[in-house]
Amino acid sequence: MSPTASTLTSGVPAQGTLASQSISLAVLAAAFAIVPAVVPSAHLLQLATLALIFAIPAIGLSLLYGEAGQMSVANGALYGVGAYVGAIGAREQLFSFWAGVPCAAIAGALAAFLVGLTALRVKGHYFLIVTFAFAELWRICLVNLKGLTGGNQGVLVLDEVRVPGLGDLHTLAQFYYLALAFVLAASFCVVLLRFSSFGQSLRAVRENERLAVSLGLNAPMVRLAAFAVSGALAGVAGTLYAYTVKHIGPDLFGAHAGIQLVLILLIGGARSPVGPIVGSLIFFLVPEIIALDPISTQIVYGIVLILIVMLSPEGLAPGVSRAVMRYVRGAQPVGTAQPVGGPSGSISR
Amino acid sequence: MTSAPATLACRNLTKTFGGVTALRDVSLKVSTGEVLGIIGPNGSGKSTLFNVLSGELRPTAGEVAWAGTRIDGRAAYAVASMGIVRTYQSASVFPALTVRESMQFAHWAAGTKVGLPIDKVAALTGLHDQMHQHCGALPYGYQKLLGVALGLLTAPRILLLDEPAAGLNQAEVRRFLQLIRDIRGVADIGIGIIDHDMSLVMPACDRIAVLNFGTLVALGTPAEIQRNETVLAIYLSGDVRTDASR
């Protein structure tokens, strides 16, 4: 890393401020708002919508992984909890989309809480293994509880999403904007939490749990709360997915989906608000754009992931934004760019 | 600032690790407003004592009480939030957080307890010019000061300092001594200090406890301890691991 780059972060993740993260979200929102107008095909717009929906559980996981340092592969299953709550609620005519969203959030948070109770005993890799087991258990339950879940056939969602003032949503662009609105709301929630005292304690737990505990923090409970929040966001996204795609099945929500969420965070970056969104878009659109078969796609993912971890371990979003900042600073007159008293370049760990 | 003195007391404390007895039948007290030193050779059970007092380890036998309530068996975070806060022997910080962020966290961890404000603690510990630095980049001496600062920000009633002077040079030790005096001046808290550095322990403490092989062998004022023949034997005889002059 060159000396100029090290003056910015020196391996310490760029955290930014509440204002800077909100601004980057606003810029992203503006850029994404014009996508339906410029996207060349309906198929790409559909993919972009799915990518946005799948970014929401990634945004939730970014709180757990990016701030608390705890990885989970159960969030794909928690996404499924929300999807099934929304879909079954619609099938049984229990609630509409807008009532389904909070129900799915509660169900996702509750499921995460139950799984996370083990987090009071295990953490790190051990917790990761526990979440893997729960994710597969969930998928197997979905297949076998045929009466409730429809088994391998899944559940059809026939209800429409009714938006006040617009009526029922039908066009792809409408669903795209709905997904974008949910992504921004979820991102903003996570940004607010990141800069709250709760976010501060998550980082303290990540950095030095023993010290955090010695200062009076109930570290396992804080981790559990972060996991529950990530479960709530995954649940919301699940219901959104069910109403957008109109059909859900068990294979979408096992450990495989959880691993995909982890990949998205590794690609995009877990500590920046735009990281999960960018990661999800790359994950969905790149194989489509380069038009590869599934096996070659896996190989490309593997190679790309290794390159990202080696070249920009915090993910692409912080790496790219740093490169841009370096370029901008390089273009400015000397003396205006470097903040006084910022992270010094002397950090050596 | 001044409230009724409260006492952290252990009675007949024993802690074994497999076949090794780290603490044997130790009874000791430290009250708010006083400074208790704990000295002894390496391996004499000093850090184990702090680990048991702070709830990180459960005693094998005996009990720990704070203000008359038994607290052994409670979780470490719960003991800390009751106001019994410890620092660590090796500097322990949140590497990627800045000094200010760590202090904000500690202050927040104090909850509803009214403690010293961040700026005051920063000035007290001499960290006011380091507030924007990442803790991992701080020099070792500052990291140890930060440990005390974080402890202070949780509004403790008892602060247990595990070898605060280890690895510090003489100027830094003198500064630490002054810090302990300053803390006594502004906060009504009890302090327990484990250290090998007699230039810190002797002037800083009201009473000193001496541990050897897990047993409390002497307890008294610094002057008494300096004259105590058992203590002199432990520290001066060649057959005991003596590192008091480190």
DSSP-derived 3-state class of residue A167: strand
Interface of A with B in 196-225 (CB under 8 A): 197, 200-201, 203-204, 207-208, 210-219
Q: How many CB pairs under 8 A join A and B?
A: 90
Which of A214-218, A314-318, B234-238 shows the lowest per-residue confidence on average (mean pLDDT)?
A: B234-238
Supply the CATH number for residue A123's domain: 1.10.3470
Q: Which residues of B touch A348 (CB under 8 A)?
A: 137
- How many degrees, rounded to 5, is the angle at CA A214 between CA A210 and CA A217? 90
Interface of A with B in 2-41 (CB under 8 A): 10, 12-13
CA distance A199 to chain B (A): 10
Flag whether residue B128 sits within 8 Å of chain A, measured between CB atoms: no
Asked if residues B38 and B222 have their Cβ atoms less than 8 Å apart, the reply is: no
CB contact under 8 A, B80 and A214: yes
Q: Which residues of B touch A313 (CB under 8 A)?
A: none
Q: Would you place residue A302 in the very low, low, confident or very high pLDDT band (cuts 50, 70, 90)?
A: confident
CB contact under 8 A, A215 and B94: no
Residue A283 lies in a domain: yes
CA distance A326 to chain B (A): 21
Place of tokens 């729960």: A134
Asked if residues B210 and B39 have their Cβ atoms less than 8 Å apart, the reply is: yes
Q: Phi/psi of residue B30, each to 5°?
A: -140, 130
Residue spans of the domains in chain B: they are 7-83+156-236
Flag whether residue A93 sits within 8 Å of chain B, measured between CB atoms: no
Most confident of A48-52, A117-121, A316-320: A48-52
Query: What DSSP line would sit under B70-98, residue for residue?
Result: E-TTS-HHHHHHTTEEE--SS----TTSB
Flag whether residue B132 sits within 8 Å of chain A, measured between CB atoms: yes
CB contact under 8 A, B92 and A208: yes
Residue A259 lies in a domain: yes
Q: How far apart are CA B109 and CA B103, in angstroms?
A: 10
pLDDT at A2: 37
Least CB–CB distance from B77: residue in A10, A200, A218: A218
CB contact under 8 A, B80 and A219: no
Q: Which residues contact A293 (CB under 8 A, 6 or more apart)?
A: none
DSSP-derived 3-state class of residue A247: strand
Give the count of beta carbons closer than 10 Å to the beta carbon of residue A86.
32
Q: Would you place residue A118 in the very low, low, confident or very high pLDDT band (cuts 50, 70, 90)?
A: confident
Least CB–CB distance from B76: residue in A213, A344, A347: A213
Q: Is residue A36 predicted with pLDDT exceeding 80?
A: yes
CB contact under 8 A, B109 and A346: no
Q: How far apart are CA B211 and CA B194, in angstroms?
A: 11
CB contact under 8 A, A203 and B54: no
Asked if residues A45 and A275 have their Cβ atoms less than 8 Å apart, the reply is: no
Q: What is the DSSP letter of A152?
A: G
Q: Which residues of A touch B149 (CB under 8 A)?
A: none
CA distance A209 to chain B (A): 9
pLDDT at A312: 81
CB contact under 8 A, B94 and A203: yes
> Which residues share a beta bridge with B9?
B29, B65
pLDDT at A344: 35
Using CA atoms, how far residue A25 sits from A32, A269, A275, in Å, is: 10, 14, 10
pLDDT digit string, tens, across residues A152-188: 899 999 888 888 888 888 889 999 999 999 999 999 9
Instruction: Name the region of A305 (left: φ>0; alpha: ψ -120 to 50; beta: rest).
Output: alpha
Q: Which residues of A touch B129 (CB under 8 A)?
A: none
Element spanning A306, H or E: helix A294-311
- How many degrees, rounded to 5, is the angle at CA A292 between CA A255 and CA A180? 60
Give the count of beta carbons closer than 10 Å to the beta carbon of residue B128.
14
CB contact under 8 A, B85 and A13: no
The arithmetic mean of pLDDT across residues A95-110, rounded, is 95
Give the count of beta carbons closer than 10 Å to the beta carbon of residue B231.
21
**Residue that wins the pLDDT comparison between B177 and A296:** B177
Q: Which residues of B touch A210 (CB under 8 A)?
A: 88, 92
CB contact under 8 A, A215 and B85: yes
Residue A214 lies in a domain: yes
ipTM above 0.85, yes or no: yes
pLDDT at A348: 32
Least CB–CB distance from B97: residue in A207, A341, A346: A207
Fold annotation for B7-83+156-236: Rossmann fold (3.40.50)
Interface of A with B in 122-181 (CB under 8 A): none
Q: Which residues of A touch B78 (CB under 8 A)?
A: 218
Q: Is the pTM of the predicted complex or chain greater than 0.90?
A: no
CB contact under 8 A, B105 and A201: yes
The arithmetic mean of pLDDT across residues A280-309, rounded, is 83
CB contact under 8 A, A216 and B86: no
The arithmetic mean of pLDDT across residues A61-70, rounded, is 94
Q: Phi/psi of residue A216, each to 5°?
A: 105, 10
Averaged pLDDT score across all residues of chain A: 85
Q: How far apart are CA B238 and CA B232, in angstroms?
A: 11
Structural domain count of chain A: 1
Q: Walk along chain B (246 residues) in steps of 10 and give the mean pLDDT of each run.
A: 79 92 93 93 91 94 93 93 90 90 90 84 91 91 92 93 89 91 90 91 93 92 90 67 42
Residue A344 lies in a domain: no
Query: What DSSP line would sit under chain B, residue for residue?
Result: ------EEEEEEEEEEETTEEEEEEEEEEEETT-EEEEE-STTSSHHHHHHHHTTSS--SEEEEEETTEE-TTS-HHHHHHTTEEE--SS----TTSBHHHHHHHHHHHTTT-----HHHHHHHHT-GGGTTSBGGGS-HHHHHHHHHHHHHHT--SEEEEESTTTT--HHHHHHHHHHHHHHHHH---EEEEE-S-HHHHHHH-SEEEEEETTEEEEEE-HHHHHH-HHHHHHHHSTTS---TT-
A interface test, pick of B102, B143, B150 with most A CB neighbours within 10 Å: B102
Interface of B with A in 207-236 (CB under 8 A): none
Domain membership of residue A155 as a residue range:
3-331
Looking at chain A, which residue has its C-alpha nearest residue B152? A215
CB contact under 8 A, A348 and B137: yes
Residue A115 lies in a domain: yes
Q: How far apart are CA A216 and CA B78, in angstroms?
A: 6
In this prediction, what percent of chain A has a pLDDT beyond 90? Answer: 54
